């Protein structure tokens, strides 16, 4: 993938310093920059189906395990929190339902699932095969510049994920668009 193939939205900024994530945390698609692992350290179990992505993620106190989010190898009600930080944008639509179902299963009652992602519109630029964003993430005094881009074959927005959560037994505690990206905090009822 080269930059010329990607339609980028404006650079987005996000400050995770004060985000509330409690107890044992399952980070879905936690390879890449391993942002949640960098934020919460040893409370985090980062799973990713690609070994290379986990190996690429910065070293830290968090545990990295190769695992498919469609088939989580954890017992029911094992986690207090689950996160998907710019992961669902990479997952084919047909896998979303199963992944939400699995996350709901492994969360304790009252557990929370936090999603950060961005709206993808209908493809309107045939020469751009990918859709992406540059992101500046702040964690306390540290600033991480990164970028995420996915094949431009699906559309998604905050309402799509809100409905998927509701369908799978989550309520929404908090949700808001943040400029070009969005954030949803679900709770397992
Ligand atoms: C680019 S990362 C997202 C950013 C990452 N959370 C970070 O902190 O930088 C998306 C990851 O989701 C992973 N992924 C996609 N589908 C998956 C699935 N079904 N199960 C587990 N991981 C998956 C990909 O392998 C990829 O590493």
> Where residue 47 sits, what CATH number does that domain have?
3.40.50.150
Question: Quick check: pTM over 0.85?
Answer: yes
Q: How many domains does the chain contain in total?
A: 1
* CA of 68, closest atom in ligand 1: 20
C-alpha dihedral sign at 85, 6, 1, 120:
positive
User: Which residue's C-alpha comes closest to atom 10 of ligand 1?
Assistant: 87
Greatest Cα pair distance in the chain: 46
Name residue 79's beta-bridge partners: 107
Q: Say if ligand 1 is within 6 A of residue 53 CB.
A: yes
Position 63 in a domain: yes
Q: Say if ligand 1 is within 6 A of residue 102 CB.
A: no
Centre of ligand 1 from the C-alpha of residue 47, in Å? 8
Position 61 in a domain: yes
Position 105 in a domain: yes
- Paired sense of beta strands 79-85 and 107-117, if any: parallel
Residues comprising the chain, all counted: 189
pLDDT of 70-104, one tens digit each?
A: 999 999 999 999 999 999 999 999 999 999 999 99
Position 1 in a domain: no
Task: State which of 14, 33, 40, 49 you would mutate to test the pocket of ligand 1, scoring each by most atoms of that ligand within 8 A of its C-beta.
Answer: 49
Predicted pLDDT of residue 60: 87
Position 43 in a domain: yes
User: Which residue's C-alpha comes closest to atom 24 of ligand 1?
Assistant: 29
Position 2 in a domain: no
Position 58 in a domain: yes
User: Which residue's C-alpha comes closest to atom 14 of ligand 1?
Assistant: 29
Position 124 in a domain: no
**For the chain, first and last CA: distance in Å?**
41
Predicted pLDDT of residue 179: 74
Query: Rounded to 5 degrees, what are φ and ψ at 65?
Result: -135, 135
- Which of 178, 162, 181 lies closest to 170 in space, CA to CA? 162
Predicted pLDDT of residue 141: 95
Low-confidence ranges of the chain (pLDDT < 50): none
Name residue 6's beta-bridge partners: 130
Calculate Rg over the CA atoms of the chain: 16
User: Domain range for residue 71?
Assistant: 19-119+154-188
């Amino acid at each position: 993938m080269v930059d010329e193939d990607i339609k980028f939205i404006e650079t987005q900024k996000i400050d995770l310093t004060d985000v509330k994530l409690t107890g044992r945390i399952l980070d879905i698609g936690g390879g890449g920059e391993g942002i949640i692992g960098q934020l919460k350290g040893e409370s985090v179990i980062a799973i990713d189906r690609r070994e290379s992505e986990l190996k690429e993620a910065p070293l830290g106190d968090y545990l990295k395990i190769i695992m498919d989010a469609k088939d989580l190898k954890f017992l029911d009600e094992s986690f207090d929190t689950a996160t998907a930080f710019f992961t669902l944008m990479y997952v084919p639509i047909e896998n979303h339902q199963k992944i939400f179902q699995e996350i709901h299963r492994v969360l304790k009652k009252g557990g929370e699932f936090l999603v950060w992602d961005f709206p993808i519109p209908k493809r309107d630029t045939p020469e751009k095969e990918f859709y992406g964003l540059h992101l500046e993430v702040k964690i306390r005094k540290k600033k991480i510049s990164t970028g995420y881009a996915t094949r431009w074959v699906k559309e998604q927005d905050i309402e799509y994920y809100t409905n998927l959560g509701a369908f799978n037994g989550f309520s929404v505690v908090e949700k808001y668009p943040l400029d070009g990206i969005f954030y949803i905090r679900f709770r397992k009822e």
